Amino acid sequence: MAKRVARRDVPHELRVEPGKRQRLTDDRAGRTLGWEREECEAALEENRQRLRELQYKMYADGRFGMLAVLQGIDGGGKDGTIRNVFSAFNPQGCTVASFKRPSEIELRHDYLWRVHAHVPERGAIGVFNRSHYEDVLVVRVENLVPKPVWSQRYAQINDFERHLVENDIRVAKFFLHISRQEQKERFEARLADRRKQWKFDPADLEKRGKWNDYRAAFEEAINRCTTALAPWYLIPADRKWFRNFAVSQIVLYELEQMPLRFPKPEFDPETIRIR
């Protein structure tokens, strides 16, 4: 059995460091860093409780916000991650935005316009189910815009994310990495379950046929846009139980880096008498 990575070290193990090029090979999608399922499920529940406490404190503080970006190939588990991890937060202070094909109005603006509108306010947490990275992924593989256009966007995205961080919105990005075989099994499970058939889109098979092209696009986006201020985390996601634990541990780590404090009341509590 592989030696279990300490809980506090999980973020460091999965963070993509600037300048250290990562490859999205299938064998990396099933890693668990030595953790077993029962351990992960117990740790996840502990993390949820701590996340609730930190969200409350961040809301009270009101000086900082957090943006969590979820990306992954079709079937990667973005919805499941939101349900199992981010449901720990009070929905009054946590928003989820999903980015699909741009509308006609959105296409009349720059590609970051619709994204910036969903960035969380200070005191809140925002989750992006897909994101601005679609504009260096889908548009690249499907040839929706010329290469001279999308190739400039990596630097623009880095500038955008730096702007958010410098304005007290912490940014953490998660790539949910599944293997080609795992995607096949998940697609088959959707087709076999009448309650999940609605989630299957035959167009997903066309994208599956471009697996290598999408993998190359994801690799470049991750390697060119992981920064000290807004890092990418490469989450092994073949095992859902480890995926959920790992994301929760990293979100917890990111929140703990904020100098959160409860504001002092503008009155002296000792002078208050309630009759």
pLDDT tens readout for residues 88-147: 999 999 999 999 999 999 999 999 999 999 999 999 999 999 999 999 999 999 999 999
pLDDT digits (tens, 9 = 90+) for 239-255: 999 999 999 999 999 99
Strands 65-72 and 169-177: parallel
Whether 66 contacts 254, CB under 8 Å: yes
Closest CA to 102 of 149, 129, 134: 134
What Cα–Cα distance (Å) separates residue 220 from each residue in 41, 66, 113, 137, 232?
32, 24, 23, 9, 12
Whether 129 contacts 96, CB under 8 Å: yes
Q: Where are the domains of the chain?
A: 7-256
Task: Give me 118's structure tokens.
Answer: 């969903």
pLDDT digits (tens, 9 = 90+) for 137-195: 999 999 999 999 999 999 999 999 999 999 999 999 999 999 999 999 999 999 999 89
- pLDDT average, residue stretch 54-65: 97
Fold of 7-256: Rossmann fold (3.40.50)
DSSP three-state, residue 99: coil
Report the C-alpha gap between 1 and 15 in whole angstroms.
23
pLDDT band at 1 (very low <50, low <70, confident <90, very high): low
Whether 246 contacts 41, CB under 8 Å: no
- pLDDT for position 199: 85
